[in-house]
């Protein structure tokens, strides 16, 4: 996995600290073209991995990338499920229309898998169905991993439905031949479940890791100790804690701790993207 | 370790279940819901006992606490039953549908020595908690007036269904209002009077979309509360407040505080002029995180309440009953929709 991975929060008006910043960013990326141009730049300067939520607005962008051979070696890490998309579709199209939208050409199988899931109360078929429908968007593209968003990872963790985490991991491997990754706001607890309880080898865990310990639950100290075990592939996000840490300090911290494999970051201007990349690459950071 | 159960686990109930299950010093033993599909799902995939009848659940389990997460209209009956059984409660907001009902539950809980908390989650937001502490320490001197705003994009076109029906809990006043007014009483006190109110419809036909209301607290602090659930520019519900005092001004949203002072405050460590505090400056560690620190921390408080570490929740039955009173008074005073 690449050391530097580009994220997508800036495209959709997500900023964890400032509502104002989020609004400004949303204004900057109004069209698919705006997003595509940024990704083109990212690719051109040598950031070759993109981790993104399977957001509606990205559909046309993916199409544009597919058409451009310069993106052939660009690695994609879709993060799912983008629940909002389903909720909106259900409201606007109704349940049946929504299902057929997300399972094009596969209505019968989709219907059976979904219905079976309800009858047996087994969520696994539904999980597979959702993964397949999201992966349709990415057919023929260079997908290197499939990530589960923290709202689902952490919900399953909290409800004690740990088997589902294992099922997800097995399915991405078996059906798509790629590793699963898990976003979480509970690094220590998730690590314990994935590694010690479920026995998943070197699971990919993406979590907030930053100098001020923001959203490093249950504590910065505990997360640092978990990272040091080096039996998981750890991707740090929010290294700037939404701007609370200066880029240089943020990178110095990441370099100073043991066990961070990659950094996932987003930025909305070319200048900031380049700056952060160069800071990260200076003398390597692991 | 205190044993608890949840009544109502659809939607938000499922998040509460996950958070409660991971909260230190409480153990979720059972859940109750009217949906058979949901109960079977829990049976097959989780470790909790399941019930379709909450009375049976209470009889068969020794419970220290219950979380009442059912639709608002059922809060009163279920809470009343649990209180009479001597079980402490967490009730999702709003407390009940009328001030009279809320008031009677406050009394009943007192009678039975039952502790109660209502799900006003803003009181557990790290930034709003800091604002409260700063106000208690007179950061801006004597507070004279404030503007409290809550906006979001819930109704952005013709409003159909339950949200367009007051009897089903619809309308911006009853949907967003509780959170907004509860924040006002958290900061400025529950000795409160509704001085004016206007309910305006924009997209809805039978309910309000915009609320303007003036409150006075302790007959001294005046505040405009402005609520709008038809703001298409906002991704999710957003609270912001501006507080004027004799020594300056404080503005706050869920993520940051800006303070303007007319003189240095060395005790609290703030300078004359503008000062800033971000959520990242505050301690936000939680044992388990699902949908914001606020939700985890309100359950930590419920755990502390059950374990006797605190006597009263900062979001008590009493403070919640006052919020219900404010909503009722606003609707009565407005006298109809503009």
A17 touches chain B (CB under 8 A): yes
- Are B14 and A244 in contact (CB < 8 Å)? no
Could you tell me whether strands A233-237 and A260-265 are parallel, antiparallel, or unpaired per DSSP bridges? Answer: parallel
Helix ranges (H only) for chain B are 12-22, 36-45, 54-60, 75-84, 99-112, 126-136, 172-175, 177-188, 293-306, 317-334
| Residues A31, A37: Cα–Cα separation, whole Å | 10
**DSSP annotation of B142:** S
Please state the domain extents for chain B: 2-121+301-319, 123-287
What pLDDT does B283 receive? Answer: 86
Q: How far is B219 from chain A (nearest CA, A)?
A: 34
B253, B278, B289 member nearest A19 (Cβ): B253
Residue A84 reports pLDDT greater than 80: no
First to last CA, chain A: 13
Which tokens sit at A268? 């909305």
Q: Which of B31, B251, B255, B284 to mutate to test the interface with A (most CBs of A within 10 A)?
A: B255
Give the Cα separation of A232 and A209 in Å (integer).
14
Q: What confidence score (pLDDT) does residue B75 get?
A: 95
Mean pLDDT of A197-221: 96
Highest mean pLDDT among A7-21, A72-86, B84-98 belongs to B84-98
Whether residues B255 and A18 touch (CB distance < 8 A) is answered with yes
Q: What is the pLDDT confidence band of residue A223, given thresholds at 50, 70 and 90?
A: very high
Q: What would you report as the CA-atom Rg of chain B, rounded to the nearest whole angstrom?
A: 20
Alpha-carbon gap, residue B28 to B303, rounded angstroms: 11
| Residue ranges per structural domain of chain A | 4-276
Average pLDDT over all residues of chain A: 86
Reply yes or no on whether the pLDDT at B224 is more than 80. Answer: yes
Task: Kindly tell me if the per-residue pLDDT of A222 is higher than 90.
Answer: yes
A83 has a chain B CB within 8 A of its CB: no
Residues in chain B closer than 8 A to A120 (CB atoms) = 44
B65-68 and B192-200 beta bridge pairing: unpaired
Give yes or no for a contact between B103 and B79, defined as CB atoms under 8 angstroms apart: no
B235, pLDDT greater than 80? no
- Helices B12-22, B293-306: axis angle to 10 degrees equals 60
Superfamily of domain covering B123-287: Dihydrodipicolinate Reductase; domain 2 (3.30.360.10)
> What pLDDT is stored for residue A77 in this prediction?
97
Q: Is A94 exposed, middle or buried, given 0-12, 13-18 or 19+ CB atoms closer than 10 A?
A: exposed
Task: State pTM to two decimals.
Answer: 0.91
Each residue of B102-133: b (16+ CB within 10 Å) or e?
A: bbebbebbeeeebbbbbbbbbbbbbbbbbbbe
In chain A, whose CA is at the least distance from the CA of B21?
A158
CATH topology of domain A4-276: TIM Barrel (3.20.20)
- Specify the length of chain B in residues: 338
Q: Is there a contact between B15 and A17 if contact means CB atoms under 8 Å apart?
A: no
Instruction: Report the distance separating Cα B202 and Cα B204, nearest Å.
Output: 6
When pLDDT is cut at 50, 70 and 90, the band that residue A108 belongs to is very low
Contact (CB<8Å) A121/B40: yes
**DSSP states of A140-187:** TS-B-EEEE-HHHHHHHHHHT-HHHHHHHHHHHHHHHS-EEEEE-S-H
So what's the ipTM on this one? 0.91
pLDDT digits (tens, 9 = 90+) for B21-50: 999 999 999 999 999 888 999 999 999 999
What residue in A sits closest to B287 (Cα-Cα)? A218
Q: Given 1.10.730.10, 1.10.569.10, 3.40.50.10440, 3.40.50.720, which CATH number is that of B2-121+301-319?
A: 3.40.50.720
d(CA A268, CA B234): 20
Strands B49-51 and B65-68, sheet pairing: unpaired
Over the stretch B95-146, which tens digit does the pLDDT of each residue have?
999 999 999 999 999 999 999 999 999 999 999 999 999 999 999 999 999 9
Return d(Cα A254, Cα A223) in angstroms, integer. 13
Residue among A22, A161, A217 whose CB faces B288 most closely: A217
pLDDT in tens, B62-76: 999 999 999 888 999
The minimal CB distance from B46 to the residues A18, A161, A214 is found for A161
pLDDT of B245 > 50? The answer is yes
Determine the residue of chain B that is closest to A219 in CA distance.
Answer: B285
* A113 three-class SS: helix
pLDDT in tens, B290-335: 989 999 999 999 999 999 999 999 999 999 999 999 999 999 999 9
> In the prediction, which pLDDT does A122 show?
82
Q: Which H/E stretch holds residue A66?
A: helix A59-67
CA A285 to chain CA centroid, nearest Å: 21
Q: CA-CA distance, B114 to B305, in Å (whole number)?
A: 10
Closest CA to A155 of B8, B295, B123, B237: B295
Q: Is the pLDDT of residue A91 over 60?
A: no
Task: Classify A243 in phi/psi space as left (phi over 0), alpha (psi -120 to 50) or beta.
Answer: left
Contact list in B for residue A220 (CB cut-off 8 A) is: 285
Judge contact between B175 and B312, C-beta under 8 A. no
Q: Which residue of A has its CA nearest to B276?
A: A244
Chain A: residue nearest B22 by CA? A158
Q: How far apart are CA B116 and CA B90, in angstroms?
A: 6
For position B66, what pLDDT does the model report?
98
Q: Which helix (H) or strand (E) holds A225?
A: helix A220-228
């Amino acid at each position: 996995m690449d050391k530097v991975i580009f994220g997508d929060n800036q495209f959709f008006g997500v900023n964890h600290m400032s509502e104002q910043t989020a609004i400004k960013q949303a204004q900057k990326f109004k069209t698919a073209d705006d997003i595509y141009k940024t990704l083109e730049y990212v690719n051109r300067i040598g950031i070759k991995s993109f981790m993104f939520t399977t957001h509606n607005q990205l559909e046309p962008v993916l199409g544009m990338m597919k058409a451009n051979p310069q993106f052939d070696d660009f690695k994609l890490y879709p993060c799912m499920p983008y629940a909002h998309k389903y909720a909106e579709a259900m409201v606007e199209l109704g349940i049946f229309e929504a299902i057929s939208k997300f399972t094009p050409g596969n209505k019968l199988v989709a219907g059976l898998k979904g219905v079976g899931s309800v009858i047996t109360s087994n969520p696994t078929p539904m999980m597979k169905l959702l993964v397949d429908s999201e992966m349709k968007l990415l057919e023929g593209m260079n997908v290197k991993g499939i990530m589960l968003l923290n709202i689902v990872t952490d919900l399953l963790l909290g409800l004690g439905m740990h088997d589902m985490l294992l099922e997800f991991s097995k399915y991405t491997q078996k059906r798509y031949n790629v590793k699963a990754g898990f976003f979480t706001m509970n690094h220590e607890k998730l690590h314990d479940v994935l590694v010690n309880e479920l026995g998943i080898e070197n699971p990919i865990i993406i979590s907030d890791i930053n100098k001020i310990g923001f959203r490093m639950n249950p504590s910065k100290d505990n997360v640092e100790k978990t990272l040091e075990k080096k039996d998981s592939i750890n991707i740090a996000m929010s290294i700037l804690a939404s701007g609370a840490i200066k880029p240089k300090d943020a990178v110095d911290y990441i370099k100073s701790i043991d066990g961070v494999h990659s950094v996932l970051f987003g930025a909305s201007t070319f200048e900031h993207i380049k700056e952060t990349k160069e800071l990260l690459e200076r003398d390597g950071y692991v | 370790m205190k044993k608890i159960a949840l009544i109502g686990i659809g939607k938000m109930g499922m998040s509460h279940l996950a958070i409660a299950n991971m909260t230190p010093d409480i153990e979720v033993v059972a859940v109750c819901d009217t949906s058979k599909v949901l109960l079977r799902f829990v049976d097959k995939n989780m470790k909790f006992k399941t019930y379709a009848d909450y009375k049976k659940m209470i009889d068969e389990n020794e419970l220290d606490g219950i979380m009442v997460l059912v639709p608002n209209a059922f809060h009163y009956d279920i809470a009343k039953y649990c209180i009479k059984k001597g079980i402490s409660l967490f009730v999702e907001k709003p407390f009940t549908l009328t001030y009279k009902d809320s008031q009677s539950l406050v009394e009943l809980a007192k009678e039975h020595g039952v502790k109660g908390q209502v799900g006003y989650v803003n009181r557990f937001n790290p930034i709003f908690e800091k604002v409260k502490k700063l106000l208690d320490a007179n950061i801006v001197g004597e507070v004279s007036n404030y503007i409290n705003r809550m906006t979001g994009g819930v109704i952005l076109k013709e409003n159909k269904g339950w949200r367009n029906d007051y009897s089903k809990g619809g309308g911006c006043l009853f949907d967003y209002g509780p959170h907004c007014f509860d924040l006002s009483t958290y900061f400025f006190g529950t000795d409160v009077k509704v001085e004016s109110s206007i309910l305006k419809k924009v997209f809805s036909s039978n309910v309000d979309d915009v609320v303007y209301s003036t409150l006075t607290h302790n007959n001294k602090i005046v505040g405009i509360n402005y609520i709008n659930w038809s703001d298409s520019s906002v991704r999710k519900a957003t609270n912001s407040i501006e507080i004027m005092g004799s020594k300056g001004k404080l503005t706050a949203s869920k993520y940051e505080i800006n303070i303007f002072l007319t003189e240095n405050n060395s005790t609290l460590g703030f300078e004359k002029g503008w000062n800033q505090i971000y959520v990242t400056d505050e301690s936000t560690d939680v044992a388990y995180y699902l949908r914001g620190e606020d939700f985890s921390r309100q359950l930590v408080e419920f755990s502390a309440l059950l374990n006797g570490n605190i006597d009263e929740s900062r979001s008590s039955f009493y403070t919640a009953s006052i919020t219900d009173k404010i909503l009722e008074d606003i609707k009565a005073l407005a006298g109809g929709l503009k």
